[in-house]
Structure formats: structure tokens, C-alpha cells
Amino acid sequence: ETGVTQSPTHLIKTRGQQVTLRCSSQSGHNTVSWYQQALGQGPQFIFQYYREEENGRGNFPPRFSGLQFPNYSSELNVNALELDDSALYLCASSTPGQGNGYTFGSGTRLTVV
């Protein structure tokens, strides 16, 4: 059983640029969630995708957007990057049901300069 894979592992972008982060979900998981973890903080929920549609969103502006594909993989897109977007971006896959754990990837470390 493969786990959650994220790419790239590290990325440096300039303020104002756009970035796309990618995530392959664990085999058998049809739900993907994205989290932002600033240095020294806990993860903050960005949004969740189920059946290729966004079905929940945290307190993030519209310049954070995403996609889920038929194979359940997902992308996170961030437009007009700001310095405060520098963080570890974590993808988690799961199956519906609160008792099920979420499997996290190793994350993408984004640095905006």
C-alpha cells in the first residue's frame, strides 16, 4: 500500500508569482485535504476535496484554489504569492468517516522571497 506522496519537497518562489503543489493520495482513499503549517505552529485547514469537488474550506482567501482528479490525486494552487505564504504545505488523504485516520504526506516546504 503506497502512502501519500507530495511534490516538490522544497520550492522557492518570488512574491507575486503563482505556485502549484501536487499530492497523490494513499491507495483506497478518495478524500484529500490540504493544510498550511507555518513554522512553530499547528497545521491550519485550507480545504478538502471529495469526488473532485471542494466540500469544505478554511479561512483562506480565494487565491488558494485546488483540484482533485479522477484518480483522487490533487493540486493546490496559490496565486499572487505573499511572504506570509511561506510554510510547510501538507496533504492528507482519508476515507469518509470521523473514525478514520488521515494519512499525511511529508509536505512541500514553500519559501516566498
> Is 25 among the residues that bind another protein (CB under 8 A)?
no
Residue 8 binds another protein, judged by CB under 8 A: no
Q: How far is CA 43 from CA 5, 27, 69, 88, in A?
A: 18, 23, 24, 9
How far apart are the C-alpha atoms of 16 and 4, rounded to whole Å? 29
Positions 26 through 85 that interact with another protein (CB under 8 A): 33, 35, 41-43, 45, 48, 55-56, 58
Q: Which residues bind another protein (CB under 8 A)?
A: 6, 33, 35, 41-43, 45, 48, 55-56, 58, 88, 90, 92, 98-99, 101-107
